[in-house]
């Protein structure tokens, strides 16, 4: 196992993230620490970081170095961005950090920062075309990508902290000041005509973007706290920003979702987003909980494990990671997946579901047994919880809920599993009917490998006007599987309105004596 520490010294805050990479290639984060530094506010008139900036940074880095030692980090990747990059004495601070903590900080360029943030987004959001903005304390990186490839990028020295200091918007932002701020930002954005991409989503990375999403979620009483891949309209943002502009610092400290440490810089940060909406013509904003730190991890992981730095299929990548992380019987899980997808494809006229549901069913089937890690009994319920909270990229919040519910019902329907508000408010009656159909298919597939021996190796589902047929090809007589599948025949009839006839064949020879079906 490898222990990887990633340190990001930004203009507003510093973060340490430690992740484990296991022998089978699975990885997960095991430690996260954040410290507020506000380096962009600790610069004198000569553009020199002050002694206070030096002492606070070194103290923070000593704390990070201690935690790296506690976690026995094998590799430490540490980067510094805008505040240290732009300071006249940034290199001196880097040298002091190395001398006093043993950690070598690397000052990365604005273009490098933009690229690494792009890696964090493109490997975790299922978006083909868009504009990423990584809004930090001292800079904002802008990246235009199409077909998941970067076309343009730039780093601008405009951030939530330095803009707050420049226009003194810590407490309030009168209309005339907002006008000055907007003119200042727009005059810089107008230098990059490629930003005008009407219709492409604006994807927000960084603390300001996450905070705005959190506030909007609270206002809308969204039934979850998950920020990554949360989207909302430009009009929703403008309504939020118009309300925010009329607040003072004390009032903002009482806003649900807005931390006290960010309440003084949120006006400037939100103004930058407002200008970006105008400059790009975006109609939708998507929040990314992944950016620079995740990009640094993917960069390291891809090189060490010889995998593409940009995943071709982010859902497949992330669910394979979850599968390897919890280590169920993978042969069984993959065989179940093969069987259930055969049923989904063969009975498409019967279930009438869109092809998009196939990938949700595939994900639920692959991960349906990970709950055994907690307890075999009620493992379907545990699997549902784990899927709901896993880092599964490429799914919307609603799709992840549906996937969790499918897995949760693979031992039979029980709505008691899903009384949680997240399920109740995100899923409609139509969604539950879909889940019931897909869970039934998964339950049938589970029955067909109940002994986990892959004895039934091929199935042929078909349908006619009177009933559905499932022809099974097996080595020998799978008596336990044949018994188990009968347990679901009434569920099948109730769900699809036709009887299911199960026919067993050996060596491609149908045995008329081995046919089961509802009566």
Count of alpha carbons within 13 angstroms of residue 325, beta-carbon side: 21
User: Is the pLDDT reported for residue 416 higher than 90?
Assistant: no
> Which is more confidently placed, 505 or 359?
359
User: Is the pLDDT reported for residue 514 higher than 80?
Assistant: no
Sign of CA dihedral 462, 465, 468, 469: negative
Q: Quick one: pLDDT at residue 399?
A: 97
4 DSSP β-pair partners:
19, 75
User: Is the pLDDT reported for residue 511 higher than 60?
Assistant: no
Please give the share of the chain, as a percent, with pLDDT higher than 90.
Answer: 89
3-state secondary structure of 212: helix
Say which DSSP state 424 is in: H
462 DSSP β-pair partners:
469
Count of alpha carbons within 13 angstroms of residue 436, beta-carbon side: 15
Average pLDDT of span 491-501: 96
Q: Quick one: pLDDT at residue 366?
A: 97
pLDDT tens profile 388-406: 999 999 999 999 999 999 9
User: Residue 212 and residue 232: Cα distance in Å, rounded?
Assistant: 11
User: Residue 159 and residue 505: Cα distance in Å, rounded?
Assistant: 68
Instruction: Answer for the pair 363, 403: CB distance below 8 angstroms, yes or no.
Output: yes
How many Å from the N-terminal Cα to the C-terminal Cα in the chain?
Answer: 55
User: Residue 254 and residue 241: Cα distance in Å, rounded?
Assistant: 16
At 136, phi and psi to the nearest 5?
-105, -160
Q: What string of DSSP letters covers 142-186?
A: EEEEETTEEEEEEEES--HHHHHHHHT-SS---HHHHHHHHHHHH
> Which is more confidently placed, 206 or 423?
206
User: Is the pLDDT reported for residue 339 higher than 70?
Assistant: yes
Say which DSSP state 487 is in: T
User: Is the pLDDT reported for residue 519 higher than 50?
Assistant: no
Q: Quick one: pLDDT at residue 353?
A: 97
User: Which among 47, 68, 60, 64 is positioned nearest to 12, based on CA atoms?
Assistant: 60
User: Residue 393 and residue 279: Cα distance in Å, rounded?
Assistant: 29
Helices 160-167, 175-189: axis angle to 10 degrees equals 130
pLDDT tens profile 52-64: 999 999 999 999 9
Q: Quick one: pLDDT at residue 517?
A: 58
Measured from the Cβ of residue 458, the count of other Cβ atoms closer than 10 Å reads: 13
Instruction: Answer for the pair 138, 159: CB distance below 8 angstroms, yes or no.
Output: yes
Confidence band for 518, pLDDT divided at 50, 70 and 90: very low
* Dihedral angle, C-alpha 303, 307, 310, 315, nearest 10 °: -140
Q: Quick one: pLDDT at residue 513?
A: 37
| Lowest-confidence region among 2-11, 173-182, 258-267, 509-518 | 509-518
Q: What string of DSSP letters covers 277-336?
A: HHHH--SEEEE-S-SHHHHHHHHHHHHHHT--SS-S-HHHHHHHHHHHHH---HHHHHHH
- Tell me the longest C-alpha to C-alpha distance in the chain: 92
At 29, phi and psi to the nearest 5?
-80, 135
User: Which among 322, 491, 496 is positioned nearest to 400, based on CA atoms?
Assistant: 322
User: Residue 501 and residue 462: Cα distance in Å, rounded?
Assistant: 10
pLDDT tens profile 216-274: 999 999 998 899 999 999 999 999 999 999 999 999 999 999 999 999 999 999 999 99
pLDDT tens profile 200-221: 999 999 999 999 999 999 999 9
User: Is the pLDDT reported for residue 512 higher than 60?
Assistant: no
Q: Quick one: pLDDT at residue 507?
A: 56
Average pLDDT of span 129-137: 97
| Lowest-confidence region among 263-272, 323-332, 341-350 | 323-332
According to DSSP, the β-strands at 27-36 and 75-80 are unpaired
Average pLDDT of span 43-72: 97
Q: Quick one: pLDDT at residue 85?
A: 96
User: Is the pLDDT reported for residue 407 higher than 50?
Assistant: yes
What are the distances in angstroms from CA 389 to CA 144, 228, 386, 394, 458?
30, 12, 5, 14, 33
User: Which among 122, 126, 123 is positioned nearest to 151, based on CA atoms?
Assistant: 122
Confidence band for 378, pLDDT divided at 50, 70 and 90: confident
Average pLDDT of span 144-152: 97
Q: Quick one: pLDDT at residue 515?
A: 46
Q: Quick one: pLDDT at residue 414?
A: 72
């Amino acid at each position: 196992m490898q222990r990887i520490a990633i340190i990001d010294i930004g203009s507003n805050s510093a973060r340490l993230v430690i992740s484990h990479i296991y022998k089978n290639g699975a990885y997960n984060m095991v430690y996260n620490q954040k410290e507020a530094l506000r380096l962009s506010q600790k610069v004198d008139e000569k553009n020199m970081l002050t002694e206070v900036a030096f002492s606070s940074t070194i103290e923070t880095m000593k704390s990070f170095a201690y935690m790296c030692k506690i976690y026995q980090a094998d590799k430490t990747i540490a980067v510094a961005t805008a505040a240290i990059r732009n300071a006249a004495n940034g290199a001196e601070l880097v040298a002091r950090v190395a001398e006093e903590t043993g950690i070598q900080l690397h000052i990365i360029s604005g273009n490098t920062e933009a690229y690494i943030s792009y890696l964090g987004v493109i490997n975790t959001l299922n978006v083909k075309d868009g504009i990423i903005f990584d809004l930090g304390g001292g800079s904002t990186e802008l990246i235009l990508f199409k077909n998941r490839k970067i076309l343009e990028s730039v780093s601008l020295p405009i951030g939530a902290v330095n803009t707050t200091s420049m226009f003194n918007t810590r407490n309030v932002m009168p209309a005339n000041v907002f006008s000055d701020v907007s003119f200042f930002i727009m005059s810089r954005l107008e230098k990059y005509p490629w930003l005008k991409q009407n219709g492409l989503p604006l994807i927000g990375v960084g603390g300001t973007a996450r905070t705005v999403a959190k506030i909007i979620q609270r206002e809308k009483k969204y039934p979850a706290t998950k920020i990554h891949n949360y989207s909302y309209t430009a009009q929703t943002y403008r309504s939020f920003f118009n309300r925010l502009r009329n607040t003072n610092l004390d009032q903002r400290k009482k806003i649900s979702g807005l931390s006290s440490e960010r309440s003084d810089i949120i006006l400037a940060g939100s103004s930058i987003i407002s200008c970006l909406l105008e400059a790009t013509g975006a109609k939708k904003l998507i929040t990314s909980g992944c950016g620079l730190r995740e990009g640094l991890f993917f960069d390291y992981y891809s090189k060490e494990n010889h995998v593409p730095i940009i995943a071709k299929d982010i859902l497949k990548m992330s669910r394979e990671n979850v599968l390897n992380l919890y280590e169920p019987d993978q042969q069984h899980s993959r065989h179940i997946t093969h069987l259930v997808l055969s049923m989904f494809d063969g009975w498409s006229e019967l279930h009438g579901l869109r092809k998009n549901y196939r990938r949700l069913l595939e994900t639920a089937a692959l991960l349906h047994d990970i709950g055994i890690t907690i307890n075999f009994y009620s493992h379907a319920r545990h699997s549902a919880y784990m899927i709901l909270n896993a880092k599964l990229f490429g799914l919307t919040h609603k799709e992840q809920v549906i996937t969790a519910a499918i897995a949760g019902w693979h031992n039979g329907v029980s709505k008691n599993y899903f009384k949680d508000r997240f399920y109740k408010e995100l899923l409609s009656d139509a969604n539950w009917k879909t889940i019931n159909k897909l869970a039934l298919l998964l339950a049938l597939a589970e029955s067909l490998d109940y002994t986990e021996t892959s004895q039934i190796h091929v199935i042929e589902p078909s349908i006619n006007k009177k009933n559905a047929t499932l022809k099974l090809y097996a080595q020998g007589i799978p008596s336990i599987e044949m018994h188990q599948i009968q347990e679901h025949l009434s569920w099948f009839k109730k769900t699809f309105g036709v009887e299911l006839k199960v026919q067993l064949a050996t060596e491609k020879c149908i045995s008329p004596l081995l046919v089961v079906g509802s009566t």
